[in-house]
Chain A
Amino acid sequence: MFWKAFVVALIGVFAMFDSRLLGRENFEQPLVVSTLVGLALGDVSKGLLVGATLQLVTMGVVQVGAAVPPDWVLGSVVASAFAILSHTRAQVALTVALPVAVLGQLVAIVVRMLFSSFNGLVNRAIDQGKFRKARNYHIVYGPIIYGLLYFIPVFFAIYLGTDIVTSLVHMIPAWLTDGLTLASKILPAYGFALLMSTMITKKNAVYLFIGFFIAAYGNLSVIGVAIFAVLLAIVLNKFMGNDNSANPEAATAEKADDLDDLEEL
């Protein structure tokens, strides 16, 4: 059991590294993760079945921007190992996957806050001229923390029994889970507000609302709005004419004005 738990935990770490170190190539998708677990535990067909089941459930989960969805990487690793080791049906895996995924979501929120505290440390390291140290926060400490955060819970979940994990997850009161879910929806609002604050001026704020209302009323996806935005930019480019190119100083002066506006806000 030790080695089985060890290998499954390593698969979990690899799947998690997908969106951290490998540009999110979809190795983290339940179909791939569960198949790998199936291969490691010697039951490929069960792995494929669990993977397909979980993949269907999570098909609509799109990890975009700052939103933290339930952690299906953690969920599918533990669930497929549980289904294979306890010889239960593939569908039963879902009842394990969901609470584990929600647990992972909560952990993910905490980790991302922890990494916020790195910013100060990195800036201090740069001030001291310790550039390697500054880089290490990103490329060494980040992966190590994430790696351990996956390896330890997956290893013990498999080694000590998935039952314990399930009952532990059930012990978390619903109000806390609901509350943190709401918090994880408010935090992206903060992310978008940060993004806005770097770009917005009184003059161009209207474009934010155009984008918002096209999407809100038109039920248009972001890519749909992006297409309209590009077209609008082409039209605006025509109207802006050659003012900027004829008189670069006027353009920079205008830019300075914009910054003044920003400070007034």
Chain B
Amino acid sequence: MTEEKQTNKKLRHKFWQFFWRSWAIQTSWNYEAQMNMGFMYGMAPTIDEIYGKEPATPEKLDKKKEAYHRHMAFFNCTPQLTSFVLGLSSAMEEEYAANPDTFDPDSINGVKTSLMGPLSGIGDSLFQGTIKIVAFGLGINMAQQGNIFGPILAMLISIIPSALVTYWGGKWGYLEGKKNIQKLIGNGTINRIMSLMNVIGLMVIGAMIATMIGITTPVKFGKSFVLQKTLDSIFPQMLPLAFTMVMFYLIKKKVNTAWIMVICIVGGILLSVLGIFK
């Protein structure tokens, strides 16, 4: 009984770690791999627990380094939904440590990658696009009448669903991951889930390219020829897609990240000064 209580206490501690560390995921957001350091920080307690704070053997130290490196891969997701990914990845890391011969560690990042597209698409739309609009729509009204409950109400509407989703997401990801991951991997279901998640993720990325980049061209000749209109008549959001494809090509050609960044900035300034894009 007491043992069970202790396990429960330990588990709750774990869930709160997922909670806070998924909220704190953006302090080192960067252009190269976005929230990767934050995710590594979120996984650190689990990895330290598995391989020891001071790994006893060189093999364990290597495994620990490997695990830290593994979670430095590109990551980007809505903070509130990251706890789910943290929970699931933690369960998978523990599974890998328990069965290093049968469990493919690449599948951990595979699952992460295929989850972040759909999760951030849904999370950003939910928290930024829906809850924020409702909360501050109400809040502005009260504030304009000089009522201080305007911002307080807006914060309550914002925080409560956010906190619930973060806590239960981490808990659910970890427990379900622990229970089902072996089964899922054993019969190949995980591959199917990954390719289906890939479908969802890619469609959402496609939609993000169409809705969130917003590069247009001001080029026109006389009154009759407006280039943007012509481009739109071929297909809308052509420029954002074209820019993404150019970037994709540069990545595939393994052009150095710093160079791509320089190209973006210098190119952006040049193209803007020349009046080609805006």
CB pair A211 B202 closer than 8 Å: yes
Please name the residue on chain B nearest to A140 by beta carbon. B27
B124 touches A52 (CB 8 A): no
- Encoded as 1 (CB less than 8 Å from any A CB) or 0, chain B from 128 to 141 comes to 11001101110110
For residue A180, CB closer than 8 A to chain B, the reply is: yes
Q: Is A25 in contact with B125, judged by CB distance below 8 angstroms?
A: no
Question: Nearest chain B CB to A40's CB is how many angstroms away?
Answer: 14
A70 to B73, CA, bound (A): 28
> Which single member of B28, B139, B166 contacts A23 (CB below 8 Å)?
B166
CB within 8 Å of B: which of A181-225?
Answer: 181-200, 204-205, 207-217, 220-225
Contact B136 A113 (CB under 8 A): no
B86: interface (CB < 8 Å): no
Interface string of A28-57 (1 = CB under 8 A from B): 010110010000000011001101100110
Complex contacts, B5 vs chain A, CB 8 Å: none
CA distance A116 to B259 in the complex (A): 12
Residue of A21, A127, A233, A248 touching B23 (CB-CB under 8 A): A21
Once the chains are docked, how many angstroms separate the CA of A132 from the CA of B211? 40
Identify which of B30, B120, B277 contacts A116 (C-beta below 8 A). Answer: B30
Main secondary structure of the interface of B (DSSP, over half): helix
Contact yes or no, B128 A64, CB < 8 A: yes
Bound Cα distance A113, B28 (Å)? 10
In this assembly, does A26 line the interface, its C-beta being within 8 Å of a C-beta of chain B? yes
Pick the contact of A31: B139, B186, B191, B257 (CB < 8 A).
Answer: B139
Interface residues on A, range: 35 or more
Asked if B140 contacts A56 (CB within 8 A), the reply is: yes
Residue of A nearest to B277 (CB): A182
Q: Are A182 and B272 in contact (CB under 8 A)?
A: yes
Given A29-B154, A119-B72, A200-B202, A178-B248 contact (CB < 8 Å): no
Query: CA of A22 to CA of B25 in the docked complex: distance in angstroms?
Result: 9
Contact (Cβ within 8 A) B213 A188: yes
Given contacts A62-B124, A113-B30, A222-B204, contact A216 B237 (CB under 8 A): yes
Contact between B135 and A118, CB atoms less than 8 A apart: no
A131-B44, A226-B200 are known contacts. Are A211 and B207 too (CB-CB below 8 A)?
yes
Instruction: Answer whether residue B224 sits at the interface, using C-beta atoms and an 8 A cutoff.
Output: no
Alpha-carbon distance A187/B240, docked complex (angstroms): 11
What is the distance, in angstroms, from B267's C-beta to the closest C-beta of chain A? 7
Q: Is the CB of B206 within 8 A of A193?
A: no
29 contacts between A and B (CB under 8 A): A27-B155, A31-B154, A52-B140, A52-B143, A52-B144, A66-B31, A67-B213, A112-B30, A116-B257, A119-B33, A123-B69, A131-B48, A135-B44, A176-B269, A178-B272, A183-B264, A188-B213, A189-B215, A191-B76, A192-B213, A199-B198, A207-B198, A211-B202, A214-B207, A216-B210, A226-B204, A237-B192, A245-B189, A255-B191
Q: What are the nearest 6 A-B pairs in CB distance?
A: A183-B268, A211-B206, A179-B269, A211-B203, A23-B23, A142-B27
Using a CB–CB distance below 8 Å, which chain B residues touch chain A?
A: 22-34, 36-38, 40-41, 44, 48, 61, 64-65, 68-69, 72-74, 76, 79-80, 113-114, 117-118, 120-122, 124-129, 132-133, 135-137, 139-140, 143-144, 146-148, 150-151, 154-155, 158-159, 162, 166, 186-189, 191-192, 195-215, 235-237, 240-241, 243-248, 250-252, 257-258, 260-261, 264-265, 267-273, 277-278
Identify 8 new A-B residue pairs, CB closer than 8 A, beyond the known A139-B41, A199-B201: A48-B144, A48-B151, A115-B30, A138-B40, A188-B213, A196-B202, A196-B244, A226-B207
